[in-house]
Amino acid sequence: MDRMFRVLGFWTLVIALMFLAGHMYIPAALFGVQTLFFVILGYMGLTEKTYMYVFGAYMFVAFVGMVWYSTFMMH
């Protein structure tokens, strides 16, 4: 499971670099922070259950953030 977090870190890095190439600095920074988050967690060596809880919490925060942004910021 720790390898999957490193894979997530790799793909968020790729997305951050694409945003950076497109001169979109705020999303690039957000994906850069996510890259650090995933890579650090990938090397912590937690249990599989803990990784699942962390990923579930990450998905919940991402979903709530997207719904909040689309509801209140894009009106």
Pinpoint the alpha helices (H) of 1-75: 2-21, 25-42, 48-68
Strand, coil or helix: 40: helix
Q: Position 7: which residue type?
A: V
pLDDT of 19: 97
pLDDT of 26: 95
10-residue block means of pLDDT along the chain (75 residues)?
95 98 96 96 95 96 95 88
pLDDT of 75: 76
pLDDT of 74: 86
Give residue 62's domain range.
2-73
Q: How many domains does the chain have?
A: 1
